[in-house]
A and B are shown apart, each in its own frame.
Chain A
Amino acid sequence: MSAPASAPGTWGTRLAALAVILYAVVTIAPLLWIVQTGFKTPSDAIAYPPKVFAEPSLEGYVNLFTTRSRQTEEYIAGLPPPDSWVERLVRSRNMVIAGPSKVGERFVNSLIVGFGSTFLAVFLGTLAAYAFSRFRVPLKDDLMFFILSTRMMPPIAVAIPIYLMYRELGLTDTHLGMILLYTAVNVSLAVWLLKGFIDEIPREYEEAALIDGYSRLAAFRKVVLPQAATGIAATAIFCLIFAWNEYAFAVLLTSGEAQTMPPFIPFIIGEGGQDWPAVAAATTLFLIPIVVFTVLLRKHLLRGITFGAVRR
């Protein structure tokens, strides 16, 4: 509680380090447990007491990517020898592979909806943020607040009329519908964040370009955009994370064609309930991009999570 200038070698600092490391270990343990569960067999995953050291198995990943059907031992014995380790693993459980699972399609849906909505939100957001940053706009504060306030509504409250509207327009369970919806949610974040980034670019650069005969638009394109590149990239990653993680709209407005990963993962079912190794495997694959993004975003994290209200 003293000044942050305390020397790094003191006992107080060592104790602080110890406490922080302890918290980090406790907070990361559930995640590591889930990652490890992805590499357990279904019976090891629900062993009593829980197995900290279990023989690693890829059954979860195999189950995640395939659909299987149970067969009699005689039937399996009569089959030609397995042509891959995947097939051998499945047959050892008295099953045969019936085909690929839906996880590939769901993953692609997440990518399409995520990148599509991110691109649109950042595109619209950059334009609007530039205008808010550089021009006199009547009712500027009110407009900015209006844009922010669209984020305050409970998603379910918005989902009721959107559900009806999409049903009328045939947008239910389509990529376009989800892209538009996520764009609308993300554009508020994009405008607020990007306005902060553009505010930080000195006006003098543009003014020099204008004096030099550039048009406003050319100055925006050739001077402001390159300067704002880092901010735009950071904003894009925040939008992508939101779309990647979103569940409420996805579960209410998609069921098959356009379903993304979050409503899909909890319903990976094996024989007799959730197939936990497969769920854990899906969770792991789903989380990897987020971990990468978190590391990349470290410097801008604070801005992103506070709509630009806190900068550093």
Chain B
Amino acid sequence: MTETSTLHTLAARAGAATPPALAARVRGLSDRAIAWLFITPTVLLLLAINVFPLIWTVRLSFTNYRANRPDAPLRWLGLDNYTRILGDPDVWYAMQATAHFVVWSITLQVLLGFGLALLINRRFRGHGFWTTLILLPMMLSPAVVGNFWTFLFQPQTGLFNHVVAFVTGIDPGSFQMIGDVRLAPWAIVLVDTWMWTPYVMLICLAGLRSIPDDIYEAAEVDRAGPLRRFWSITLPMVLPFLMLAVLFRGIENFRMFDMVNLLTSGGPGSTTEVASITLKREAFEKWRTGYSSAFAVILFVTVFGLANIYVKALNAVRQR
């Protein structure tokens, strides 16, 4: 009774606040019209700033266009750019560097992140505070992170080298994380792991907290040991969450640009030249716009294809 009366007064207030002509016009909008009215601006914006450029990229990828010489005669090359890319050793090198980076950074993040989540899930006193501290690196700007790690990696004066020297006893000036062709690929993996382990940790923690306690209690009744409980309860229940984290990290690291660009800018030589850095060199330093457009299309199709296959696997795991 009270409820309906409140609603009546609300309606009365709304009616009083709205001029009748406007009210009639607005009320006239069907749900369908509102749906389109609400969705169209977003779709138009995405068409203008994502889809149209993508189509433009595809078109350019069949030409010899160079953005620094817009007036040069445009030639139609057909699939030449694509065949040249697939035969370009630099491109294959970049793909290998990307694969090394993606596989190792994600492996380390999964191991560390899952481990940390298991520890934090024991809910010791003050775990909220320490968790927030651990989360900080992933909220930072990757470019700024890449930049200040160059400072930490300075061989003579950097904090990192001195901490390693302190722990292992070797000379801090005897190794260069960024300057050495063997170490640089690990430097980018290390910084990425530092930055994004909390991401995997947070998602795993959500997975762990989604497991109802009574499953463990039932397992205890069945005398399942801790290892058995981990393999048959914890891991399978967390797996969909973990796979989701890997999906997001995988996409992000496949397109990695900012952190690596500022940490090593692809060097030394081209040892840390991941795909996006090669792409930037081709497009904005060598100005081979057509060629780099074809590379961009190949990268996009690769990410999209891999992500789709992966999502199918993820859904299969979820349905189990």
Contact = CB atoms under 8 A, between A and B. Distances in A.
B230 A212 contact: no
A208 B7 contact: yes
Of B54, B123, B130, B151, most buried by chain A (CB within 10 Å of CB) is B151
B226 A262 contact: no
B26 A217 contact: yes
A102 interface: no
Interface in B135-193: 135-144, 147-149, 151-152, 154, 156-160, 162, 172
A76 interface: no
A71 interface: no
Contact of B132 (A165, A274, A294): A294
A230 interface: no
A247 B124 CA distance: 38
Contacts of A12: 122
Contact of B38 (A5, A130, A162, A294): A130
Contact of A1 (B42, B56, B118): B118
A187 B46 contact: yes
Given A124-B45, A214-B11, A217-B29, A287 B144 contact: yes
Interface stretch (B72-80, B83-91, B277-285): B277-285
B299 interface: yes
Given A244-B141, A310-B206, A143 B39 contact: yes
Given A30-B152, A152-B304, A245-B142, A216 B34 contact: yes
A239 interface: no
A183 interface: yes
B304 to A, nearest CB: 6
A66 to B, nearest CB: 21
Nearest to A241: B139
A125 interface: yes
B29 A124 contact: no
Interface in A184-211: 184, 187-188, 191, 208-209, 211
Contacts of A72: none
Contacts of A157: 57, 279, 296-297, 299-300
A217 B120 CA distance: 45
Interface in B99-139: 116, 118-128, 130-139
Interface residues on A, range: 35 or more
A241 B216 CA distance: 39
A293 interface: yes
Contact of B220 (A3, A251, A265): A3
**Interface SS majority for chain A:** helix
B202 to A, nearest CB: 6
A233 interface: no
Contact of B135 (A188, A216, A266, A301): A301
Given A157-B57, A247-B142, A302-B202, A30 B194 contact: yes
Contacts of A128: 38-39, 41-43
A229 interface: no
Contacts of A8: 123-125
B258 A248 contact: yes
A222 interface: yes
Contacts of A216: 29, 31, 34
Contacts of B46: 146-147, 150, 184, 187-188
**Interface SS majority for chain B:** helix
B275 A154 contact: yes
Given A213-B15, A280-B148, A154 B299 contact: yes
Interface residues of B, number: 121
Contact of A163 (B67, B133, B245): B67
A34 interface: yes
Contact of A4 (B135, B141, B208): B208
A270 B304 CA distance: 44
Contact of A16 (B119, B198, B283): B119
Nearest to A238: B139
Interface stretch (A42-50, A56-64, A79-87): A42-50
B2 to A, nearest CB: 13
Contacts of B140: 245, 287, 290
A285 to B, nearest CB: 11
Contact of B255 (A154, A165, A295): A154
Given A20-B116, A30-B148, A48-B157, A266 B143 contact: yes
A187 B42 contact: yes
A125 to B, nearest CB: 7
B67 A50 contact: no
13 contacts: A4-B122, A4-B213, A5-B216, A20-B119, A31-B137, A46-B154, A128-B43, A212-B8, A266-B143, A266-B144, A266-B147, A287-B144, A291-B139
Interface of B: 7-8, 10-11, 14-15, 18, 23, 26-27, 29, 31-32, 34-39, 41-43, 45-46, 48-54, 56-57, 60, 67, 116, 118-128, 130-144, 147-149, 151-152, 154, 156-160, 162, 172, 194, 197-199, 202-203, 206, 208-209, 211, 213, 216-217, 220, 226-227, 229-230, 234, 241, 244-245, 248, 251, 254-255, 257-258, 261-262, 275-276, 279-280, 283-284, 289, 292-293, 296-297, 299-300, 303-304, 307
Please give me the 4 A-B residue pairs with the lowest Cβ-Cβ distance, nearest first. Answer: A157-B296, A247-B143, A245-B141, A3-B216
